[in-house]
Amino acid sequence: MASPITLSAHNLTRFHGGRSVVTDVSLELHRGEVLGLLGHNGAGKSTTLQMLAGALTPNSGRVEVCDFDIARKPALAKACLGFLPEHPPLYKDMRVDDYLTFAAKLHRVLPAQLTEYLNLAKQRCGLTDCGKKLIGTLSKGYQQRVGIAQAIIHQPAVVILDEPTVGLDPTQIRDIRELIRELGNNSSVILSTHLLHEVENICDRALILQQGKVIFNDTTDELRRHSDIESSFIRLTAMPTEGATT
Amino acid sequence: MIRTLAKKELHTLFVSPSTWWMLALLQFIFAWFYLARMDDYLQVQAQLAQMDSAPGATISIAAPLASVLAIVLMMLIPLFTMRLIAEERRNQTWILLTTAPISATDIVLGKFLGLLAMLSIIIAACAVMVCSLALGTHADFGLIAGNILGVWLLAASYAALGLFFSSLTRQPVVAAFGALAVYFGLWMLEMSSGVVRVLSPNVHFQNLNVGLISTADIIYFALFITGFLLVSIERIRRERGGV
């Protein structure tokens, strides 16, 4: 692919209490690409994403974002990143506008661009009418949207979303999928999910983790080649039905 | 960046009604104590007038008030510092800061200065009240300034120490009790004899309390504050994995 690499991870390994949770995971992400991270519960998806986002330090291996090593040049690397963790990091007693402005400032958005970026992020996540509301009073779906808005407000080159569609209703899921597609035009997106159709619909490539190891890393077309995506996933992970919700 | 974080801390404090209640309650307690001391002073004033170098109104009223303020802040500051880091960890909002392009120094100083601004408001409100002594008598502003400076430095030291405890754990209650236990320990040191006595911030506060502003005390507080801020920064830097 001709487009430049925005995120690359080399041989990431992470231990938790002597047991390796993620072993030797390498991946590359190009500009304008949407990568889906699949796997059973406990396969190491969230751990991998946290390492990519710089929230967790790998025991070995390294991560580069926009050619900056995240361990050596964290400020430069993290400025190119937007991250939505598994639990959206929301201050429940702040108003949506205040919170998003704070998130933007943390990511070094210039004061002159603040309003523009804020409005764009709110519009993209369908939060235009919620600016004055307290985050704590919003429903789970709206809180999830605020979490996503927080991750994209500074218009980063790489957006990392850990299960972005959890807790959303079908319409919202459709909206968020459209948003991810749209983000994929200019930035790179990496998202983890349990929903195989989500991967089928919006991801260019899929990466399947099994017990912390990469067992599949190719285009979604490849995953679909022999049979439908669901049976491919089940065949690959070789653990029938469990965790493979559709 | 430090300003953004400090402003956010202050903002979070002031959107919550409990902060306003607490400020009002504190002011009420201080005012009560102030009036009680004033009352005592007025009762013995006739006798004092016959003495040669009798204690003035400022040392009899302002200095004890500063001591009370110091004790109240000692109890209060752990409740603020536990929120700064430990509670953010528990609420899982901490990750927003650790994945942002900001340094551990930004985080620690931002949070410290945000809290210090809040504590300064409490101290300033008290100072204004004490300055009202000038309405009725010749107030010793030097002594008042020494006391305010002392309380402020003591509060900043407690805040730095509390922040460090907050950086150690993800349990706010543990952070608060840990800090409070150490404050009490340091307070106890004051009553001991010998060299260890100088380690207690309260001893250095005593000097300022009686109006003795010495460089040694100021340096002690500066070292205490800087020391605990540095170990907090180091602690967070390690947690984030170097650099």
- DSSP β-ladder status, A81-84 and A68-69: unpaired
Tell me what the mean pLDDT of segment B57-74 comes to. Answer: 87
Give the C-alpha distances (Å, rounded to integers) separating A229 from A18, A173, A211.
Answer: 34, 20, 20
pLDDT of residue B197: 81
Chain A residues within 8 A of B2 when measuring between CB atoms = none
Return the minimum-mean-pLDDT range out of A7-11, B22-26, B132-136, B218-222.
Answer: B132-136
How does pLDDT run across B175-184, given as a tens digit for each residue?
999 999 999 9
DSSP letter for each residue of A78-136: HHTEEEE-SS----TTSBHHHHHHHHHHHTT--GGGHHHHHHHHHHHTT-GGGTTSBGG
Which of A71, A78, A87 is facing B242, going by the closest CB pair? A71
Asked if B243 lies within 8 A of A74 by C-beta distance, the reply is yes
Residue A167 reports pLDDT greater than 80? no
* H/E stretch holding A141: helix A140-152
Chain B residues within 8 A of A136 when measuring between CB atoms = none
Residue B113 reports pLDDT greater than 80? yes
pLDDT of residue A242: 41
Classify burial at A83, counting beta carbons within 10 Å of its beta carbon; exposed 0-12, middle 13-18, buried 19 or more.
Answer: buried
Q: How far apart are CA B77 and CA A209, in angstroms?
A: 46
Residue B243 reports pLDDT greater than 90? no
Chain A residues within 8 A of B102 when measuring between CB atoms = 75, 106
Residue A235 reports pLDDT greater than 80? no
| Cβ atoms A172, A148 nearer than 8 A | no
Report the percent of chain B where pLDDT is more than 90: 50
Chain B residues within 8 A of A108 when measuring between CB atoms = 1, 101
How does pLDDT run across A43-63, given as a tens digit for each residue?
888 889 988 988 888 888 889
Which is nearest to B32 in space by CA: B76, B64, B70? B64
Q: What is the mean pLDDT of chain B?
A: 89
Tell me what the mean pLDDT of segment A148-166 comes to. Answer: 90
Confidence of residue A220 (pLDDT cuts 50, 70, 90): confident
How does pLDDT run across A64-99, given as a tens digit for each residue?
888 888 888 888 888 889 999 989 999 998 999 999
The C-alpha of B118 sits at a distance from chain A's nearest C-alpha, in angstroms, of 18
| Cβ atoms B44, B152 nearer than 8 A | no
pLDDT of residue A137: 92
Which B residues in the span 73-92 are in contact with A, Cβ-Cβ below 8 Å?
91-92
Residue A211 reports pLDDT greater than 50? yes
pLDDT of residue A43: 83
Residue B208 reports pLDDT greater than 90? no
For residues A114, A116, A120 and A126, what is the CA-based torsion angle, rounded to 10 degrees? 80
Confidence of residue B78 (pLDDT cuts 50, 70, 90): very high
How does pLDDT run across B2-30, given as a tens digit for each residue?
999 999 999 888 888 888 999 999 999 99
Is the sign of the CA dihedral B45, B51, B52, B55 positive or negative? negative
Q: Measured between CB atoms, does A15 come within 8 Å of chain B? A: no
pLDDT of residue A239: 53
Full 3-state SS string of chain B:
CHHHHHHHHHHHHHHCHHHHHHHHHHHHHHHHHHHHHHHHHHHHHHHHHHCCCCCCHHHHHHHHHHHHHHHHHHHHHHHHHHHHHHHHHHCCCHHHHHCCCCCHHHHHHHHHHHHHHHHHHHHHHHHHHHHHHHHCCCCCHHHHHHHHHHHHHHHHHHHHHHHHHHHHCCCHHHHHHHHHHHHHHHHHHHHCCCHHHHHCHHHHHHHHHCCCCCHHHHHHHHHHHHHHHHHHHHHHHHHHCCC
Tell me what the mean pLDDT of segment B61-73 comes to. Answer: 89
Q: How many CB pairs under 8 A join A and B?
A: 70
What tokens appear for B135 in the block? 């309405």
pLDDT of residue A241: 40
Tell me what the mean pLDDT of segment B66-78 comes to. Answer: 91
Q: What is the mean pLDDT of chain A?
A: 85
Confidence of residue A236 (pLDDT cuts 50, 70, 90): confident
ipTM of the complex: 0.85
Residue A245 reports pLDDT greater than 60? no
Return the minimum-mean-pLDDT range out of B8-12, B31-35, B42-46.
Answer: B42-46
Which B residues in the span 91-110 are in contact with A, Cβ-Cβ below 8 Å?
91-103
* Segment B35-43 long-range contacts (CB within 8 Å, at least 24 positions apart): B37/B61, B37/B64, B37/B65
CB atoms near residue B33 (< 10 Å): 18
Which is nearest to B11 in space by CA: A97, A225, A143, A84? A97
Q: Which residue has the higher pLDDT, A200 or A223?
A: A200
Residue B109 reports pLDDT greater than 60? yes
pLDDT of residue A210: 84
pLDDT of residue A150: 93
pTM value is: 0.88
Q: Which amino acid is at B60?
A: S
pLDDT of residue B87: 92
How does pLDDT run across A90-145, given as a tens digit for each residue?
999 899 999 999 999 999 899 999 999 999 999 888 888 888 999 999 988 889 88
Q: Measured between CB atoms, does A71 come within 8 Å of chain B? A: yes
Residue A9 reports pLDDT greater than 80? yes
Chain A residues within 8 A of B95 when measuring between CB atoms = 50, 55, 83, 85, 89
The C-alpha of B151 sits at a distance from chain A's nearest C-alpha, in angstroms, of 31
Chain B residues within 8 A of A150 when measuring between CB atoms = 96
Confidence of residue A240 (pLDDT cuts 50, 70, 90): very low
Which is nearest to A148 in space by CA: A98, A183, A113? A183
Interface probe, candidates B96, B107, B170, chain A, greatest A C-beta count within 10 A: B96
Chain B residues within 8 A of A79 when measuring between CB atoms = 101
Residue B242 reports pLDDT greater than 70? no
Which of B91, B98, B103 is facing A75, going by the closest CB pair? B103
